[in-house]
Structure 1
Amino acid sequence: MFIYKIAIITTIFICSGSTVFAQIKGKVVDVEAGALAFANVLLIEANEGKKHIKGVITDSTGAFSMEVSPGNYMLSVSSLGYHAYQSEVIHLSADQVTYDYGEIILTESNTALEAVTITAKKPLIEQRADRIIMNVENSILAEGNTALEVLERAPGVMVDNDGNLTLRGKQGVMVMINGKQTYLSQKELTNLLRGTSSASIASVEVITNPSAKYDAAGNSGIVNIRMKKNIQAGVNGNTYLNYGRGRDDRYGVGLNLNYSNGITNFFVSYDYAFRGEKETFNFNRNFYDGMVTGTPSRVSNQQSTTDEPLVTNNFKAGVDVNLSDNTVVGAVLNGNVGSYSRYSTARNIITKPGGELLSNALTNIDNEEKWNSLGGNINFLHKWDNNSELSADVDYSRSSFDADQLLQTNFEPLNNELINLSMRRGDIPAVTNVFVWKVDYSRTLNERISIEGGWKSSLVNADNNANYDTLRNGNWEIDQQTTNRFIYKEQIHAGYLNYKHNLGNLEFQVGLRGEYTGTTGHQLSTDSLVKRNYFQLFPSLFIRKPLGERHKLQASYSRRIDRPDYFSLNPFRFFQDPFLFFEGNPFLQPELTHSAELSYTLKDKYITSLFFSRTKDVMTSVVTQIDEINTSILRPQNLQSLTFYGMSFTMNQDLTSWWSTNNFINLFKNAYAGIQDGGTIDNSVWTYTANSQNTFAIKNGLTAELGAQYFSKSVYGLFERDAYYVVSGGLQQQLFNKKASLKLVVNDLFRTRTFIRNINYRHIDMHENINLDSRIGMLTFSYRFGTQQVKSHSRKRGDDDIQRRVKGSG
């Protein structure tokens, strides 16, 4: 009831004003009706001073839009190589909601353009009505990093050492690539993001309250990674080469080629990366005879060193064909091949509080993972007179993954005992097949009303096989307790409808999405079968109210779901060392969330938001112990609830002509409640985070960037993570008439990015400290080549959503 009261009060508050706002829109094309991207559009007051009110740049389809109050205006449009356009005076009355210029045709000038280079540049951070966009291709600090490291700099996003993401302090983030869900387990997604170079990424979109058009998965929101694409005519491309070092070498190379003649567009890309990483790990546990009180009966201290090389190969090829001015079909083939190894040496010493030695074990662990993934996409798009649009996609991918593991532990003798040797080996192959098809339709009914709807079906089949052997008397024997085969099948069928209405001084969108989910988890060794079938409705509501030209209010509400992935459901045991292992939970339930948000925007630069959500059956990692054998078990489990609320502030400002700053501040509280091991969980804390990105234009093509992040103490389930901060800096020099650039970046200048977390619950007392390989120096050279023509025909896809689908195991 609390959520509904907030929604009612917010609606009344927003509807109480009377300021009228109008939208001006249009599309800029050439004489052949080809879209002109990056054209400059200026709105001018029709008075004696002719003051410039607003300015925008057309998108890849040549479209533009802007919102203004009633008045008299003129429009000025310009683009390199074309004659400028200026409109007649138009009058926007108080009752006029939209003014559509339609197609504005620019004619070519006689000025030669062979030497002209496009320099239009988006800001590092953009704030849209429903999302925050970080333009990675404009960030110096992103150079030479992986996609996972790029996400750490996105406003509101946090990444832990295992690659798990949180958004504004809350778990349950859905990661999409070019608007498409990856359908990967958390482990596979982490490997994929670690293997994707930042050089391939155009932008990262952070959507905290998605509409019904998006999958209902991801109860804290969506992080959408947009990959680069080339829209220029002729033959063109870019290449890059980088080298860096932390505690080990890192290097990469990539090539992107594109050919477009206005009707057919061919594109191909390849990226190779090697990422060396070495870390140290301290893991301390206190064991008690009962609850965590008094003096422990045993103390375990474990120190490890790891060497973790990662090798990735990513490739993509595709074609788009414009069958007519309004119809395009396309096909994309993409793949990912890679390997990740973790070579670890761990010393575990167990003593009594007085120092008496109880156990001294040295463990060598060799873990080698390999994967390959191949996916294909066929897409179709048709438009009718800019009023309606139909798109369709069909995707299929097959991913194979294999992990070979060898654990060798030597228990040093105590007194007159003999050396005890324990050896375990594992072969863990997995194959995942994913088939997805979807269709979307949108239509503008009139100047005030538009609708959109669609259908999506996905089928997932994952076959996981874990084979473990132990060495007994010099012979390898099957470990029946840990060897298993797990087959997971999932089907999701969803339909949605959005209705959008502009009332002049108020704009709202209401949506409803229905999803049917059917899952089957079959554990073959025990013939255990878990089936689930359920149907859920996911409503959404967005209200936007302008209060003059400088002030805006926006409110939103949505209901979302987060389903467990098949890795979390898989009951297999995955050993980190002989004293710590992970196992899945086949009885995990999906978690459901109600979310509400109210935001205020000033001059499109300053945004303040209040947010609240309540999650039922929240999934989180918990730790249990087998005290008799000094072993800890990490497994996912449902807790009763998570209550999450707070506020955020965003500021984008040009402080001087040479210094621009983007800042994000977040204050929130996570409160977990539930039952675990017979005890009551009540874990909560207020957390403060800050993210500041600053860009400095020096001179002669030299720019600098300085970024800083701070994260105070936070909680996730039973865990509590200590505070840390990160400062990074970089320089960029433009070369060869701005066709090339040389970038030098140092991440985590003071090596302050730590990963320290603790658990103190009932009989569990743990402390974990990982010394991350985070201070990295990276030098990158990139070069653009080809025609670089301003004139281009759009692929007319309406969205990047029909480009790349990545579903690899790495």
Structure 2
Amino acid sequence: MKTRSGIFFLLLFSFFSKSQETVKKDSLKKDNQKDSLTSISEVVIQSSRRIKLNDGNIVMNVSGNKDFKTSMNMLDVLRKSPGVTVDQEDGIFLGGRVSPAIFINGKPVVMSSQELQSYLRSLSPEMVESVEINSNPSSKYDAEFKGIIDIKLKKNTNLGWRGSYIGNVYANKFSYRENSLNLSYNTEKLVYNLQFGYNYGISTYRYNALQRLANTNVMRTKNYQEDDAEIYNIQVGIDYRLNNKNRFGVNVRGSFRDNYRTRLGSLYTTNDDETQLIFNTESNNPTHYAQNNYGITTDYSFQNKNFKLSFLGNYLSVENKQKDDFINKDRPTSELLSYWKSDLLNKINIYTGQIDVSQKIGNSTLEAGVKFSDTSTDNNIKYDTLSVSNQFIFDPNRSNIFSYKEKIFAGYLAYSKKFNKLQINAGLRFENTKSISNAITTDSIVSRNYLEWLPSLSTNYVFNKSNELFISYSRKITRPVFSQLNPFRFYFSPLNYWIGNPYLQPSFTSQIKTTYRFKNWVTSFTVGREKDVMTRYPLYNPQTNVLEYLGTNLPYRNFAVLETSFPVKITKWWNVNSQLSGYYNYEFRPYLDEVFALKIYNYEIRLNQVFSLSKGYTINVFANYESKGGNSLYIIKPRYTIDLSIQKLWFDNKLNTKIGYNNIFNSYDQRVEFRHKRIMDNQFTHWWDTRKLLFSLSYNFGSSKYQAKEIQRTEEENRTR
């Protein structure tokens, strides 16, 4: 693998060296100047302000930024952004551990995780003005928001209509296609907005495991999965400008997902020296999954001089339906060993309303707000098992009816004041949570009512245009997501499943973050402690060989994150943006009557190289390396990925085409090993089809470039995943 990587970079460097000569000739011919190309020895830190800080948060320009010119969409932009990680399933994380809220123009968006990913793919970098990365939000934000990524869209208030089409194609063993059409019409007082999306295609996933069982047998597990999905999204909105002081908006949304999944698996077990076959079984798990979402958002704002008032209301309805078949056979004889079916119905309803006010007085700003949310979820999963009489009968051991209701009343008060080069911000938030979970099948009711005070404090000092320092403190609460509370079985294979825990407690995180910027070189250090950490742990049954994953709260964990990023200009046509991250994690983990407490260190290196060639071509090479990591129970093996992409504009910059090849060496699978062999000797690998050829095409048309407001998302909707 290393040899192939070396040959690749050697050929790539040779190609760009030739491209340099082309750039040089074109420059001489066009400008009639002497050779002005900078030699590689003249490496300098760029001084242009492509990166700045806003209250200690990194803010990067996106449109027109060379680092993101070849990026297919906003997910690709975030993968290359400092402090942000996008995993194989397009999950977004800050500091390697925090799942952030996504804001659009200062407001959180109201979408499920799948819808959000589709929406971010529909945003090309040219549509985005900037991205702000906030890894330590203040008390004015919901306590669930331990991190925020705020995407500011480009704005233009020209009258008339505007349209854009964006199409993406991903090709691996199968192909996946995304289509997005956006239309807007802007008058002096009204803005009409229509967005339609249609995505379809097949993605694949593989899971392999090797486990040495308690009886010294060796069991190999293999799973292969194909997901055939079809997704429709539509949203219609009106933004009404009553006058210069008052604005009102309504947005209605619908999302419809239909998914057929085929999962084929096998369990191959031999004796300890693998000379004698014990059993060889195969499983077939076809699934039909459907999700229907409906949402309504209303917002109102009033602004008069230094006073501002805003209201935001949301309603979200989610209905999930899933039917599974679990068919297990003896592979050599095709004898049916077991057969059961499941039928799941899940309904979620969320109502939220919040009011925020702010008043600026000289160099001071006073802010306050209140919010109320009401959430209910109902789950009914029914299992039927094939009996010896060849009929399906109800299985009460697996079936489950579960309901969860939660009401949160919150408020905050924030104050900020600027003293010349120094600015101080302080805030205090309260959140009162009332919840009741009811596992009807097991007759278990858990009721809670608790009030928490969550302070924040920060200070920012600007030495000069090139130097500034920011220090902040915050305390956050993380409530368990609904799936973590639901005590039903979710099967990965016939002998492997996880179960929710209705007795999970919320966790609390206190952290301090320091950020220093020198020109475009930004370094941050975060240290903190999380109490009542929510996690899953494995429980192996040596008699049945069943491996369960159960939810629990750990007493605490300490963590620290050190991140630095800096751009380097090597030549006029070659720019490199480097990112280095180091992580420390110490878990205090009771497990099976023992306590495991290990100090885990790991790091990540990212290099984003941009080559600006003649005739308007831009080539990007992105490389990412992750060292060995894990936690007190598991070791995560090191891995790396290399992506290549090319971009070109056509037809007076209206047509933008991009071609990419991600994970060139198919090297980004996740390999995990259980640390403590005397308890369980288990190792497994997750593989996603991230080695893909990508093609992106976007076309803009119409007379206006007005960008309509996007709909909002609340913390409760984050927790429907």
Residues 1:365 and 2:285 are matched in the alignment: yes
Any stretches of 5+ residues in structure 1 without a counterpart? 1-53, 57-122, 290-296
Q: 1:341–1:204: structure 2 CA closer, same or farther, 3 Å change rule? A: farther
TM-score normalized by the length of structure 1: 0.77
Match of 1:575 in 2: 491
Match of 1:543 in 2: 459
User: What are the within-5 Å matches in structure 2 for residues 652-671 of structure 1?
Assistant: 652-671=567-586
Match of 1:323 in 2: 242
Match of 2:231 in 1: 312
Q: Deviations over 1:315-359 (max 9, x none)?
A: 221011111111111111122211233311111012220323222
Tell me the CA shift for residue 644 of structure 1: 0.4
Match of 1:528 in 2: 444
Q: Deviations over 1:750-776 (max 9, x none)?
A: 221111112133522221112321111
User: What are the within-5 Å matches in structure 2 for residues 337-416 of structure 1?
Assistant: 337-355=256-274, 356-385=276-305, 387-412=306-331
Residues 1:467 and 2:390 are matched in the alignment: no
Match of 1:266 in 2: 192
Equivalent residues of 2:600, 2:631 under 8 A apart: no
Letter in 2 for 1:675: P
User: Please, which of 182, 192, 210 is the counterpart of residue 137 of structure 2?
Assistant: 210
Q: Deviations over 1:273-329 (max 9, x none)?
A: 12422233211112236xxxxxxx222101222212232222221011111111111
Match of 1:713 in 2: 628
Residues 1:697 and 2:697 are matched in the alignment: no
Equivalent residues of 1:704, 1:730 under 8 A apart: yes
Letter in 2 for 1:212: S
Equivalent residues of 1:242, 1:251 under 8 A apart: yes
SS in 2 for 1:700: helix
User: What are the within-5 Å matches in structure 2 for residues 587-736 of structure 1?
Assistant: 587-603=503-519, 605-716=520-631, 718-736=633-651
Match of 2:182 in 1: 256
Which stretch shifts more, 158-167 or 370-379? Answer: 158-167
Equivalent residues of 2:56, 2:470 under 8 A apart: no
Match of 2:72 in 1: 143
SS in 2 for 1:567: helix
Which stretch shifts more, 708-717 or 547-556? Answer: 708-717
Match of 1:277 in 2: 203
Q: 1:632–1:723: structure 2 CA closer, same or farther, 3 Å change rule? A: same
Tell me the CA shift for residue 619 of structure 1: 1.1
Equivalent residues of 1:539, 1:559 under 8 A apart: yes
Letter in 1 for 2:584: K
Q: 1:675–1:161: structure 2 CA closer, same or farther, 3 Å change rule? A: farther
SS in 2 for 1:629: coil
CA distance in 2, matches of 1:692, 1:127: 22
Equivalent residues of 1:287, 1:763 under 8 A apart: no
CA distance in 2, matches of 1:312, 1:154: 28
Tell me the CA shift for residue 442 of structure 1: 1.1
Tell me the CA shift for residue 140 of structure 1: 4.8
CA distance in 2, matches of 1:228, 1:529: 49
Match of 2:468 in 1: 552
Any stretches of 5+ residues in structure 2 without a counterpart? 1-46
Match of 2:251 in 1: 332
Tell me the CA shift for residue 656 of structure 1: 4.6
Equivalent residues of 1:178, 1:804 under 8 A apart: no
Residues 1:429 and 2:339 are matched in the alignment: no
Q: 1:437–1:452: structure 2 CA closer, same or farther, 3 Å change rule? A: same
Q: 1:444–1:656: structure 2 CA closer, same or farther, 3 Å change rule? A: farther
SS in 1 for 2:527: strand
SS in 2 for 1:244: strand
SS in 2 for 1:308: strand
Equivalent residues of 2:109, 2:711 under 8 A apart: no
CA distance in 2, matches of 1:192, 1:627: 41
Q: 1:462–1:232: structure 2 CA closer, same or farther, 3 Å change rule? A: farther
CA distance in 1, matches of 2:323, 2:81: 34
Letter in 2 for 1:629: T
Q: 1:332–1:226: structure 2 CA closer, same or farther, 3 Å change rule? A: farther
Q: 1:324–1:780: structure 2 CA closer, same or farther, 3 Å change rule? A: same
Residues 1:156 and 2:83 are matched in the alignment: yes
Tell me the percent identity: 27
Match of 2:367 in 1: 452
Tell me the CA shift for residue 554 of structure 1: 0.9
CA distance in 1, matches of 2:208, 2:360: 60
Match of 2:123 in 1: 200
Tell me the CA shift for residue 155 of structure 1: 2.9
Letter in 2 for 1:198: R
CA distance in 2, matches of 1:543, 1:531: 40
Equivalent residues of 1:707, 1:727 under 8 A apart: yes
SS in 2 for 1:481: coil
Tell me the CA shift for residue 530 of structure 1: 0.5
Report the number of matched residues: 663
Residues 1:167 and 2:94 are matched in the alignment: yes
Tell me the CA shift for residue 620 of structure 1: 1.5
Letter in 1 for 2:232: N
Q: 1:176–1:367: structure 2 CA closer, same or farther, 3 Å change rule? A: farther
Tell me the CA shift for residue 55 of structure 1: 9.6
SS in 2 for 1:525: helix
Q: Deviations over 1:237-262 (max 9, x none)?
A: 11123333111112122211111123
User: What are the within-5 Å matches in structure 2 for residues 789-804 of structure 1?
Assistant: none
Q: Deviations over 1:427-453 (max 9, x none)?
A: 11111001010111111111x111111
Letter in 2 for 1:279: Y
Equivalent residues of 1:621, 1:717 under 8 A apart: no
CA distance in 2, matches of 1:159, 1:657: 30
Residues 1:238 and 2:164 are matched in the alignment: yes
Output the aligned Cα RMSD. 2.7
Equivalent residues of 2:501, 2:551 under 8 A apart: yes
Residues 1:768 and 2:684 are matched in the alignment: yes
Equivalent residues of 2:509, 2:531 under 8 A apart: yes
CA distance in 2, matches of 1:676, 1:683: 13
Equivalent residues of 1:732, 1:742 under 8 A apart: yes
CA distance in 2, matches of 1:238, 1:389: 33
CA distance in 2, matches of 1:181, 1:527: 37
CA distance in 2, matches of 1:524, 1:176: 37
SS in 2 for 1:593: strand
Q: 1:670–1:411: structure 2 CA closer, same or farther, 3 Å change rule? A: same
Residues 1:758 and 2:670 are matched in the alignment: no
Equivalent residues of 2:102, 2:149 under 8 A apart: yes
Residues 1:781 and 2:697 are matched in the alignment: yes
Tell me the CA shift for residue 583 of structure 1: 0.6
Match of 2:28 in 1: none
Tell me the CA shift for residue 684 of structure 1: 3.0
Tell me the CA shift for residue 659 of structure 1: 3.9
Letter in 2 for 1:511: G
